[in-house]
């Protein structure tokens, strides 16, 4: 009689223990020596960005050595986000999903990157007024914390979208699609509720801009 391998219990955040171990080996060899070890306290954004730049270099080399290892692309997506390289993060997560389909973490990561790019909706002279209206509406409904894009600069979002050749409306719809896929792949109930709240806030937010997603 054969043995069945238990399906991993995924959550939307973090790596499985064996994945983290593989990353730790790479970081120990190629990242930690440059920052004084894994226990280094990162006080500033500049510190964290330095680590992300070093990690990106190491992970890109690893991806060249093992182009079919999804883990490198998954981790690259995370560090690209830390550097504001959201177009690269989208492409890295898409590559990870192609190599490792039906992983809710990758669906969530891709959806989150696309959501950041919807910040481009707030470019132009009407940015401040629109943001005030949207923030007021979300605050009244208790959803302000889920405002799409966080503090990512709208002009930078436009540049990143141009690299991907899509509009912010397309990014918004793709984001919701991948959030829904993450939910469908069997996440814990608390995380399904969290993602549903994000989707609801996105719909409310973009409805204020005249876009239905």
Q: What is the DSSP string of 70-138?
A: HHHHHHHHHHHHHTT-HHHHHHHHHHHHHHS-S-HHHHHHHHHHHHHHGGGGG-STTHHHHHHHHHHHH
pTM greater than the 0.75 cutoff = yes
| Structure-token pair, residue 169 | 């409306």
The domain defined by 17-207 carries CATH number 3.40.50.2300: no
pLDDT of residue 143: 52
Percent of the chain beyond pLDDT 90?
50
- How far apart CA 57 and CA 111 sit, in angstroms, is 24
pLDDT of residue 180: 96
Intervals of the chain under pLDDT 70: 1-11, 37-46, 124-152
């Amino acid at each position: 009689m054969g043995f069945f391998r238990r399906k991993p219990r995924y959550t939307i955040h973090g790596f499985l223990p064996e994945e983290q171990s593989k990353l730790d080996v790479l970081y120990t060899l190629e990242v930690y020596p440059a920052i004084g070890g894994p226990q280094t306290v990162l006080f500033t954004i500049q510190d964290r960005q330095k680590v992300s730049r070093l990690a990106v270099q190491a992970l890109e080399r690893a991806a060249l050595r093992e182009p079919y290892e999804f883990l490198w692309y998954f981790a690259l997506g995370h560090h690209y986000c830390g550097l504001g390289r959201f177009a690269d993060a989208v492409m890295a997560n898409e590559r990870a999903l192609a190599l490792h389909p039906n992983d809710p973490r990758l669906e969530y990561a891709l959806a989150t990157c696309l959501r950041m790019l919807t910040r481009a909706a707030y470019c132009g002279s009407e940015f401040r007024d629109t943001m005030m209206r949207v923030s007021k509406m979300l605050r009244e409904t208790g959803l302000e914390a889920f405002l799409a894009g966080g503090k990512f600069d709208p002009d930078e979002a436009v540049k990143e979208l141009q690299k991907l050749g899509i509009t912010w409306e397309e990014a918004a719809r793709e984001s919701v699609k991948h959030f829904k896929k993450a939910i469908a792949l069997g996440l814990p109930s608390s995380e399904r509720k969290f993602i549903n709240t994000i989707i609801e806030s996105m719909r409310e937010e973009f409805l204020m801009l005249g876009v239905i997603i």
